[in-house]
């Protein structure tokens, strides 16, 4: 697969209001891309449409796949942390692993290895037997990322992964994402905080009022002029 | 301590067998179980045998069907709606089934034939189901299912009250009210053969997506990204619930709280996992219904307590206790 | 761990509850110690409805009945509570009735269909006696039960008594009467109590002709209808003239000008031979009134 994600005039409207204007973008495999913008600019909408989680017009290479096909290519780390059932961390991963094993041909030799490996990679092995509702925000984010590793996908979408994390937790997650990217995975994340993340990502796509206004390396993207373009009305 | 531990599994089985036996042995009058069983083999006629085979056995089977069906429907709905307070009645299907049966009784059709009341109840249950599926097919939010279900339930409830108030026959009113309180008294194999297959069909619809409910733990977006088709899931859950609740309500009237309370009792034992909750709720719920019915048969009251009343009486304190624990 | 303790606690409570329930029902006695009696001619008759019980006792006496309904024991509703003290009581369910080994079961057309079917499947004959909504219905029921219980002579005697007060032909009277229950229910034109009024020489107030059915009505409508006689419910152990606090005060107000009398419903809700006394009493108030005028 050449591109991780290709969109062609991808747009989202709710009733008469357009939330995302036709967007044509291409993201390569192995890239670490951030979607930046103000609140309500359309970042999450873009990612959801790209992944096919919401109805949209236009084309997206991932959304056009069937549900079962798509889950092999891309996984999703959601912003909303609603966890009604207070299961254990490794149980959460177990759910995804069982589903993955049913659809994917290659598999780990022993079930639990996949989960343990995922927990190690995200540095939360010590949380394996803890109840999810007892975890902090940063720990939950790490768990959700571990879950995507168990899903064995080359592409990982993250919706505001740094929201409501303190600076230290943010750095931990950013480092984790960088190490995952280094091992060959494609990371696409939506962000608010662009300064801290600049040195981790290789590409910033800035969205304002549903339109892409910037698409460049972070250094370029965060100079004053471009910053205003993305964030200031 | 998980329910997968062999000890607990065996206790569950032993309790179920014990209370099934007790349900056959205990009733309004004393019978000798041994005589009843042996007389069948020897071909001799005996009152005890008739009571056992014609009355107690169908009634016991009905209790098992009611318990396991309503328990499963409750567990499935709580898993799908991710709402610990969900119950088959929250989506309006039991109220719609009740409306159908009440209409049938008010029109006097229940005297025309055995199948009229169950048919009406099931038909109205499916109307409610279809309304739910149709109105929520484009919605993203699980709250819509609950909100529309509450609306359907309210509408069915007020129509039922309307029928009651327009009916000028105080005896039909009596019959309707008793029916709405739920009862398995004097059910026959015909009733079992109506409710049983419907519950089985519903069970198939629900278990098909048991694993999906596990994946739903992280919310609909994440579930969709892991390959869950939310629309198919919703449709299956609603249809499965309708078969089960419609089939049971059609025969026994409204029996509440079983589907609400039992999953909560089971969850601590299964690590709160939705799929395993769905697996272990039916036997525990069947146990609760058996116990309630045995209490009914042996309670020294002139009027008979209705099953729906007793499950509510037993279930409400447990439920309130669980709620207060959750809040703290 | 928290979850394990919780699970252990639940298990303990669960087992305790199961044990308690087990002990509870083991200590329960079944049934009552009254006799189940067989009729002199060998009939084993079980009656399962209060109104039918009352007729059966009138026709063949409590000593010839195998069992009567459990409500018959309650003085609040039953006029035969004293007479059936030593008769077995039964609820209407197949198990209990079947175990009595009856030769005939009498039930109302409103009794549980499930139980009736269950009994028929068990080979027990269930005779339906329809709820009487008029004196003619009552006579028909007495006739039917007279045949079933092999007491045709007694049945004829009872029916004869009602001949004294035949159904009125046309409207001769100008006095009106109504019956009004504490739960606001007014019996309709086709009800037993209304037929009692008609035969006693009363008619139904004009204002209520438009809605002949039984229904729940507010006190306003009753006041407006201004019946010459208003029959109200009587609380147990109170005198017939006592006001019943369950009714709105306005009913008793002198301004409303209503003549009220209180009778317990048990004397007229069932079609029973005793109804003749009520008709006589009501007719007498009518004739008293006429002689006064």
* C185 phi and psi angles, rounded to 5 deg: -90, 130
**Tens of pLDDT, residue by residue, chain A (233 residues):** 578 899 999 999 988 999 999 999 999 999 999 999 888 888 999 999 999 999 999 999 999 998 888 988 999 999 888 788 889 999 999 999 999 888 766 544 444 448 888 999 898 999 999 999 899 888 999 999 999 999 988 999 999 999 888 888 899 999 999 999 998 899 999 988 788 888 899 999 999 999 998 898 888 887 877 888 888 76
Identify the structural domains of chain A with CATH numbers, from first to last: 3-231 (3.40.50.300)
Cα of B317 to nearest chain C Cα, Å: 14
- Check residue B53 and give its pLDDT: 86
User: Would you call B1 and C122 a contact, using CB atoms and an 8 Å cutoff?
Assistant: no
Pull the structure tokens for residue B327.
Answer: 């809040």
H helix or E strand, kind and range, residue A72? helix A67-73
- Residue B54 DSSP label: I
H helix or E strand, kind and range, residue A211? strand A211-216
User: Would you call C93 and B168 a contact, using CB atoms and an 8 Å cutoff?
Assistant: no
Pull the structure tokens for residue B44.
Answer: 């001799």
The strand pairing partners of C229, in sequence order, are: C177
- pLDDT tens for C234-252 read 887 788 778 888 888 888 8
Three-class HEC string of B60-89 = HHHHHHHHHHHHHHHHHHHHHHCCCCCCHH
d(CA C195, CA C214): 13
With CA atoms as reference, report the closest residue to B21 among B3, B38, B33. Answer: B33
Q: What is the mean pLDDT of chain B?
A: 86
User: Would you call B55 and C95 a contact, using CB atoms and an 8 Å cutoff?
Assistant: yes
Neighbours of chain A (3+ CB pairs under 8 A): B
Percent of the residues in chain B that have a pLDDT greater than 90, as a whole number = 42
d(CA A201, CA A167): 17
SS3 assignment, position A132: helix
Cβ C140 vs Cβ C192: under 8 Å? no
**Got the DSSP string for C28-76?**
---S-SPBP---TTS--EEE-SHHHHHHHHHHH-GGG-SEEEGGGG-TT
H helix or E strand, kind and range, residue A18? strand A17-28
With CA atoms as reference, report the closest residue to B292 among B264, B314, B322, B316. Answer: B314
Residue of chain B whose Cα is closest to the Cα of C215: B168
Cα of B246 to nearest chain C Cα, Å: 19
SS3 assignment, position A35: strand
- Check residue C290 and give its pLDDT: 65
- Residue B52 DSSP label: I
Is residue C37 very low, low, confident or very high in pLDDT (cuts 50, 70, 90)? low
Cβ-nearest to A82 among B214, B219, B274: B219
- pLDDT tens for B265-288 read 888 888 899 999 999 999 999 999
Residue matched to tokens 């600049």: A198
Burial per residue of B63-100, b for 16 or more beta-carbon CB atoms within 10 angstroms, e otherwise: bbbbbbbbbbbbbbbbbbbbbeebbbbbbbbbbbbbbb
Q: Which residues of B touch A78 (CB under 8 A)?
A: 218-219, 221-222
Cβ A51 vs Cβ A62: under 8 Å? yes
User: Would you call A103 and B221 a contact, using CB atoms and an 8 Å cutoff?
Assistant: no
pLDDT higher than 70, residue B152: yes
Tell me the average pLDDT across B87-111: 86
C19: left (phi over 0), alpha (psi -120 to 50) or beta: alpha
With CA atoms as reference, report the closest residue to B311 among B121, B133, B63, B47. Answer: B63
- Check residue B170 and give its pLDDT: 65
- Check residue C31 and give its pLDDT: 39
- Check residue A137 and give its pLDDT: 86
SS3 assignment, position C127: strand
Q: What is the ipTM of this complex?
A: 0.88
Most confident of B40-49, B202-211, C104-113, C197-206: B202-211
SS3 assignment, position B44: coil
Residue C74 or A108, more confident: C74
- Check residue C1 and give its pLDDT: 42
pLDDT higher than 90, residue B60: yes
Sign of CA dihedral B270, B276, B279, B282: positive
Residue A92 or C293, more confident: A92
d(CA A160, CA C175): 86
- pLDDT tens for C81-99 read 999 999 999 988 899 999 8
pLDDT higher than 60, residue B214: yes
Cβ B253 vs Cβ B308: under 8 Å? yes
Tell me the average pLDDT across C162-171: 76
H helix or E strand, kind and range, residue A119? helix A111-121
Residue of chain B whose Cα is closest to the Cα of C133: B169
User: Would you call A87 and B215 a contact, using CB atoms and an 8 Å cutoff?
Assistant: no
Q: Which residues of C touch B27 (CB under 8 A)?
A: 95
Pick the residue of C7, C13, C17, C217 with the most B CBs within 10 A to test the interface with B by mutation: C7
What is the distance in angstroms between the CA of the first residue and the CA of the last residue of chain B? Answer: 23
- Check residue A110 and give its pLDDT: 42
Cβ A3 vs Cβ A29: under 8 Å? yes
pLDDT higher than 50, residue C11: no
Residue of chain C whose Cα is closest to the Cα of B294: C25
d(CA B254, CA B41): 38
SS3 assignment, position A58: strand
**Got the DSSP string for C133-189?**
-SHHHHHHHHHHHHHHTT-HHHHHHHHHHHTTSPPP-S-----BEEEE-TTSEE--T
Is residue B158 very low, low, confident or very high in pLDDT (cuts 50, 70, 90)? very high
Is residue B265 less than 8 Å (CB to CB) from chain C? yes
Widest CA span of chain B, in angstroms? Answer: 65
- pLDDT tens for C118-153 read 999 889 989 999 989 899 999 999 999 999 999 999
Identify the structural domains of chain C with CATH numbers, from first to last: 45-161 (3.40.50.1980), 177-292 (3.40.50.1980)
Cβ C144 vs Cβ C129: under 8 Å? yes
Tell me the average pLDDT across B142-164: 88
d(CA B226, CA A95): 10
pTM of the model: 0.82
- Check residue C107 and give its pLDDT: 95
Residue matched to tokens 């049945």: C155
- pLDDT tens for C14-24 read 555 555 555 55
Residues of chain A whose beta carbon is less than 8 angstroms from a beta carbon of chain B are 48, 51, 53-54, 67-68, 70-71, 74-78, 80, 82-88, 91-92, 95-96, 98-100, 103, 144, 147, 151, 157
* Helix B57-81 with B258-266: angle, nearest 10 deg: 70
Pull the structure tokens for residue C7.
Answer: 């699970």
Residue B27 or B205, more confident: B205
d(CA B198, CA B184): 17
pLDDT higher than 90, residue C164: no
Q: What's CA A192's distance to the chain center, in Å?
A: 14
B328: exposed, middle or buried (Cβ count in 10 Å: 0-12, 13-18, 19+): exposed
Q: Which residues of C touch B26 (CB under 8 A)?
A: 25
Parallel, antiparallel or unpaired: strands A186-191 and A155-159: parallel
d(CA C134, CA C263): 19
pLDDT higher than 70, residue C26: no
d(CA C87, CA B246): 42
The strand pairing partners of B227, in sequence order, are: none
Identify the structural domains of chain B with CATH numbers, from first to last: 61-327 (1.10.3470.10)
């Amino acid at each position: 697969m050449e591109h991780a994600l290709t969109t062609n005039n991808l747009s989202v409207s709710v009733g008469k209001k357009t939330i995302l204007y036709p967007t044509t973008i291409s993201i390569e495999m192995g890239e670490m891309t951030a979607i930046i913008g103000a609140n309500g600019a359309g970042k999450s909408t873009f990612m959801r449409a790209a992944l096919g989680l919401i109805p949209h017009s236009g084309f997206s290479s991932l959304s056009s796949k069937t549900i079962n096909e798509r889950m092999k290519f891309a996984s999703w780390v959601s912003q909303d942390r609603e966890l009604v059932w207070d299961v254990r961390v490794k149980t959460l991963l177990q759910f995804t692993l069982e589903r993955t094993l049913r659809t994917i041909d290659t598999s780990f030799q022993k079930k639990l290895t996949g989960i343990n490996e995922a927990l190690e990679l995200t540095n939360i092995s010590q949380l394996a037997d803890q109840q999810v509702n007892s975890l902090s925000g940063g720990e939950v984010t790490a768990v959700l990322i571990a879950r995507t590793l168990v899903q064995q996908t080359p592409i990982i979408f993250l919706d505001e992964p740094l929201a409501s994390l303190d600076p230290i937790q943010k750095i931990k997650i950013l480092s984790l994402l960088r190490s995952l990217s280094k091992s060959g995975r494609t990371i696409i994340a939506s962000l608010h905080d662009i300064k801290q993340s600049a040195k981790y990502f290789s590409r910033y796509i800035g969205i304002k009022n549903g339109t892409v206004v910037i698409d460049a390396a972070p250094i370029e993207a965060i100079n004053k002029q471009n910053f205003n373009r993305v964030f200031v009305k | 301590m998980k329910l997968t531990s062999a000890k607990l599994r065996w206790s569950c089985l032993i309790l179920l067998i014990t209370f099934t036996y007790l349900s056959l042995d205990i009733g309004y009058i004393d019978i000798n179980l041994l005589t009843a069983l042996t007389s069948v083999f020897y071909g001799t006629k005996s009152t005890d045998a008739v009571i056992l085979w014609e009355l107690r056995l169908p009634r016991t089977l009905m209790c098992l069907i009611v318990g396991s069906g309503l328990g499963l429907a409750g567990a499935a709905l709580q898993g799908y709606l991710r709402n610990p307070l969900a119950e088959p009645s929250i989506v309006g299907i039991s109220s719609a089934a009740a409306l159908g049966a009440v209409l049938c009784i008010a029109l006097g059709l229940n005297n025309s034939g055995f199948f009229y009341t169950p048919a009406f109840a099931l038909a109205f249950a499916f109307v409610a189901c279809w309304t739910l599926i149709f109105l929520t097919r484009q919605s993203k939010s699980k709250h819509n299912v609950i909100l529309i279900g509450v609306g359907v339930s309210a509408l069915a409830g007020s129509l039922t009250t309307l029928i009651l108030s327009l009916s000028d026959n105080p005896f039909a009113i009596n019959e309707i009210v008793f029916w709405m309180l739920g009862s398995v008294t004097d059910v026959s194999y015909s009733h079992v053969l109506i409710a049983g297959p419907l519950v089985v069909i519903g069970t198939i619809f629900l278990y098909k997506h048991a694993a999906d409910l596990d994946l739903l733990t992280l919310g609909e977006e994440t579930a969709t990204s892991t390959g869950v088709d939310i629309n198919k899931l919703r449709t299956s859950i609603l249809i499965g619930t309708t078969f089960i609740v419609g089939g049971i309500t059609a025969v026994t009237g409204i029996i509440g709280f079983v589907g609400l309370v039992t999953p909560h009792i089971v969850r601590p034992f299964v690590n709160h996992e939705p799929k395993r909750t769905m697996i272990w709720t039916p036997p525990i719920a069947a146990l609760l219904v058996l116990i309630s019915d045995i209490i009914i048969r042996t309670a020294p009251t002139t009027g008979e307590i209705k099953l729906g009343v007793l499950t509510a009486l037993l279930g409400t304190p447990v439920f309130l206790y669980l709620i207060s624990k959750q809040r703290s | 761990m928290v979850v394990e303790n919780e699970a252990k606690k639940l298990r303990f409570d669960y087992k305790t509850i199961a044990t308690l329930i087990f002990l509870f029902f083991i200590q329960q006695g079944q049934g009552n110690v009254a006799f189940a009696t067989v009729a002199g001619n060998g009939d084993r008759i079980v009656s399962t409805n209060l109104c039918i019980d009352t007729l059966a006792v009138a026709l063949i006496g409590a000593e010839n009945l195998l069992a009567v309904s459990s409500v018959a024991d309650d003085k609040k509703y039953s006029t035969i509570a004293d007479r059936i003290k030593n008769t077995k009581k039964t609820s209407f369910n197949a198990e209990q009735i079947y175990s009595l080994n009856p030769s005939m079961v009498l039930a109302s057309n409103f009794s549980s269909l499930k139980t009736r079917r269950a009994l028929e499947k068990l080979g027990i004959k269930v005779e339906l006696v329809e709820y009487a909504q008029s004196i003619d219905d009552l006579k028909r029921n007495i006739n039917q039960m007279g045949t079933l219980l092999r007491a045709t002579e007694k049945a004829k005697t009872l029916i004869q008594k009602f001949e004294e007060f035949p159904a009125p032909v046309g409207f001769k009277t100008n006095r009106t009467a109504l019956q009004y229950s504490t739960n606001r229910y007014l019996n309709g034109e086709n009800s037993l109590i209304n037929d009692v009024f008609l035969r006693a020489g009363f008619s139904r107030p004009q204002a209520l002709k438009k809605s002949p059915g039984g229904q729940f009505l507010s006190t306003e409508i009753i006041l407006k209808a201004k019946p010459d006689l208003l029959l109200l419910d009587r609380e147990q152990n109170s005198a017939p003239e006592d006001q019943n606090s369950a009714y709105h005060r306005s009913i008793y107000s002198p301004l409303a000008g209503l003549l009220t009398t209180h009778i317990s419903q048990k004397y007229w809700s069932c079609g029973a031979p005793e109804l003749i006394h009520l008709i006589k009493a009501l007719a007498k108030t009518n004739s008293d009134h006429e002689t006064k005028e």
